[in-house]
A and B are shown apart, each in its own frame.
Chain A
Amino acid sequence: MNTEATAVASPPAVSARTTLLTLVRRELWEHPALWRVPLIVAGFLAVAAALVSTRATIDVDAGHLAQIGPGIHAMVLNVSQDAFAAVIWLFTAVVVSFYALDCLYAERKDRSILFWKSLPVSDGQTVLSKFLTAMVAAPLAAFVLATASHLIAFAAWWLRSHLGGGLPDLVGWDTVAWLRGELLMFLVMLLAVLWYAPLVAAAMLLSVAVKRSPVLWAFLGPLLLWVADLLVFHTGWVASVAKYRSSGIWDALATRGGHQIVIDEHTYLLHALNWGAAFGLVDLWLGVLAAAALVYAAARVRRYRDDT
């Protein structure tokens, strides 16, 4: 084969936005639990709350009934908003955790990585799309679902309260309070995403690096460290790091001047919480940097991970 070397002009790439959206869609196809579980939970909450509202009866004596006004309406609205969001987010967090541990392992397990790598998508784009699915798409979907299911349930309560009787005038619409509640939920979600980003990125690195059973590694690894620390080193470091990484941001958010923030019916949670301390926490941003480094490492490992 007598030949001479040649360089071939590369055709233009698909736009980065189109590629990224396609990659995220692929994640949602492959891991439907990411949207199905929050959707089912949100649907269940909305239906259950609506059903309950058709049967429940709350007796409020005349003295208390007279006190019900816009303040109580706003509180009921905001508390129910928070409750819906908390339940849906909890399920989403569990699903995202398992997703992060599986997303780079599943493609190796079924050898489909050879198909994905036969197309012009870089390892960086692939890993980034998985990280964004976990850290942006799933939380945003949970946020939208929490809002929608709460609105459905709240509409049912409102109708019962105003048309059907049985519920006293506890339920009243307050647009400003609702927007305040949505903003609160959005900021809490943003904090959660930023704070737990290094954990998700670490799970993804585990997913791409271990030979098998990333879920087992994720639970056994920290457990063994904790036991070793408890029995051999006696520093308590593992337990304190685990506790800090799970709740440190919420401690900062709920503390002002060294004291726990106290909430009463005259205080809006949005105004009372210490957002400055939470978003200004150095460890929050160090965690984000660590997450970026871990995502980069996962992409590098995927580049030459060869167990097909």
Chain B
Amino acid sequence: MTAVIEARGLSKSYGRHRALDAVSFTVGAGRIVGLIGPNGAGKTSALKAILGLTPFEGELRVLGFDPRSQRDELMRQVNFMADVAVLPRWLRVRQALDYCAGVHPRFDRARAADFLARTDIAQGSRVRELSKGMVTQLHLALIMAIDARLLVLDEPTLGLDLLYRRKFYDTLLNDYFDRERTILLTTHQVEEVENLFTDVLFIERGRLVLDASVEVIAGRYRQLTVSAEQSARARALQPFYEREVFGRVAMFFDGRSEAELRTLGEVRTPSIADLFVARMQGTLQS
């Protein structure tokens, strides 16, 4: 597998605040990676570093380019979508297509127009005349028409209703992702997209607390739900996090086998959302 993003000791400070603290990770080609963390954890700083939008310390190569010195070459192969509010409100849909066609060597105008034809968006409309969901569809149409190697999405569905969110990710998965492209995604709505991920990066206070593929997570993490009576025995196996659920206790283990836990209660692989909460709370408690 080839590396699309390779970060070594990536650090970023805003004054005395350390937004990223010597973070190292690698993202391979053809992966859908969730960069997940609470507000202020350093997600956007990491994305901005990857996109060459902010200075940073450490080593970072994206598609083999240094985002600091080779941003222009890099952006020919990278797509980026921040939340829906970044399309200028004065822009007409037709102008957005004209603009992308005029500056991007890999933009396929016909493909974008074809995608838009399946929506209610008229090419003469201005962005300010569109609903939030339609603006996202427009942005998605532009992204779908760019043949990029890496797509970076920063909270792309923020503020959208469930139907638009679902449609957005369905389109992304069915019409865009081809197992060669790489998608790096940050979102707070982890539950809705966790089935998309092939890998997750959990970030907290500027540090990576988990860097694993979903296969590794399935093999390594266990969620054990036990009755209150069994909880003391289960606790002896040192869960890294536990919480009460309807009178029972859900415990999260790292590295315990299913056979080891099965005698105590119900065992399953935790969802990424549950694991995220567990790791964040566990991190905070430790």
A114:B86 contact, CB within 8 angstroms: yes
Q: Can you report 21 A-B residue pairs in the complex whose CB atoms are below 8 A from each other?
A: A1-B213, A3-B3, A4-B3, A7-B64, A10-B77, A11-B105, A13-B105, A19-B103, A22-B102, A25-B102, A29-B90, A30-B91, A110-B88, A114-B82, A114-B86, A115-B87, A117-B53, A119-B75, A119-B104, A120-B72, A304-B53
Report Cα–Cα, A114/B99, bound state, in Å: 15
Report chain A residues within 8 Å CB of B77: 8, 10-11
A230 to B: closest C-beta gap in Å: 38
B27:A6 contact, CB within 8 angstroms: no
Q: DSSP class of B's interface residues: helix, strand, loop or mixed?
A: mixed
B242 interface contact, C-beta 8 A: no
Q: Which residue of A lies closest to B89 (CB)?
A: A110
Report Cα–Cα, A131/B83, bound state, in Å: 29
Total number of residue pairs linking A and B with CB closer than 8 Å? 132
A14:B105 contact, CB within 8 angstroms: yes
- Chain B residues numbered 37-58 whose CB sits less than 8 Å from any CB in chain A: 48, 51, 53-55
A232 interface contact, C-beta 8 A: no
Report Cα–Cα, A1/B212, bound state, in Å: 7
Report chain B residues within 8 Å CB of A114: 80, 82, 86
A278 to B: closest C-beta gap in Å: 37
Report chain A residues within 8 Å CB of B76: 10-11, 13, 120
Give me the interface of A with B, judged by CB distance under 8 Å: 1-8, 10-14, 18-19, 21-23, 25-26, 29-30, 107, 110-115, 117-122, 304, 306, 308
Q: Which residue of B lies closest to A10 (CB)?
A: B73
Report Cα–Cα, A112/B29, bound state, in Å: 29
B231 interface contact, C-beta 8 A: no
Q: DSSP class of A's interface residues: helix, strand, loop or mixed?
A: loop
A19/B102 contact (C-beta < 8 A), A3-B1, A112-B86 known: yes
Report Cα–Cα, A121/B72, bound state, in Å: 7
B204 interface contact, C-beta 8 A: no
B26, B64, B102: residue with the most chain A Cβ atoms closer than 10 Å: B102
B90:A1 contact, CB within 8 angstroms: no
A30/B102 contact (C-beta < 8 A), A3-B28, A4-B2, A119-B75 known: no
A1:B64 contact, CB within 8 angstroms: no
